[in-house]
Structure 1
């Protein structure tokens, strides 16, 4: 009631929804396996399939499966991709427009505000069958992330994280929920145990530190190139990197007056910058060049 009287905006429904549905008949004793695509639009030669299969293989191996077997005992049928769910995501609130009206007219002072957008389901479906009797299903699992993103890779870490739990498991029913970014980063990306995690940490800042660390390690391998550019002493720099991995600005300390040296160093650094995926926008990165340690 207080929200209505104050004309406040209600919280927006922006959280991505994760779903999993898993069945288990039996865990195979012989885990020599092969992964096969089942959808017509999936080709074993496509880059999308090869890239995802490498990540999926690591999850299957953690469950004991040998996916390089010449004579598999288990066939794991794979389907993955993106579907337009045709569902409208509704964000709602209340405003109080000032509209003149007569005394006996129903007031329109309270009006709902709706913002709608399409949702896309990024999904992975695995069905394990007996290689000798392909109609005999051993276990199956489907995991889904539903939000406004159209890109499968934006969801694959969450999907693989769920698979690591529900391969060879029975969920009893479809389970819906969310996963914290910090949980996903620490448990799945960093491979920390629950005894090592600290969910009070900010996942975005953790990924910034990891990004900085990778840059510093790479810069140490480029000392000869920096000398060719004209650097002759240890130099620190602060980098502004765009979401797409472009170097938008570099500040040197101590400052470098020679424009040719500045440009050469900047071009060299930009040539191996990856996009800072997962790092909050606006973060800057501190690095060193000609560092001996």
Structure 2
């Protein structure tokens, strides 16, 4: 927790510099839906992939923020995620999120794992909205610090920490670069992300493992079609490393519908496939993804 607080304070100091140039009251000046939704790790973007877009509806002269709750329910597991995010001057983004992962089928029906995530994103170049006459996408870099808070519900088996499952660490960093382009004439949003990571199942099963302990670069892709100003549907793909012998980890992917009735609220529903999660319940984990975001 000390590392999370320290990271949060450092990020807050960076954001304060940007805030000094932004007006005190959020202007809500960006186009509807152009802040994306809240990604399951807290960043602005799609459901499972961060985009180069900065969260919120604050323009370069202002700021914006939001809170989210996400729920994923597969055959054997449930994942809840909640958090807050702030975008400053349409350039800097700070996000804080908590994930809680639970088992619902024996032998992992008592399983409970929690994880805290601090994220920072910086827009480097381009503008996905206003540079329609250029092929240059909006480009951003980001970092996520993740701290696994241990394993609950398996004390009878003597398992209380992810290291006992083969993970090398219970905390780690993800680094990513994302490129996002919105094509208004074609009603399309395209995104590509490269993530350098050692995380097992986003970090819920720790970082590194008995199969591999090196940081590897994984591709992530999103595409969305804007039916109108308030409705979009699309799909995402996220490749992940396979580090643990007890976890035959596979890629995530989803198909989603996102509704933006106002700038203050959005809701996303998806069919998600999370692949295999541990050898103890060896089947593809598919199910419902629901996420609500409220902001200003």
TM-score (ref. length: structure 2): 0.22
> Relative to total residues, which structure has the larger helix share, 1 or 2?
1
* Greater Rg by CA: 1
> Relative to total residues, which structure has the larger strand share, 1 or 2?
2
TM-score (ref. length: structure 1): 0.22
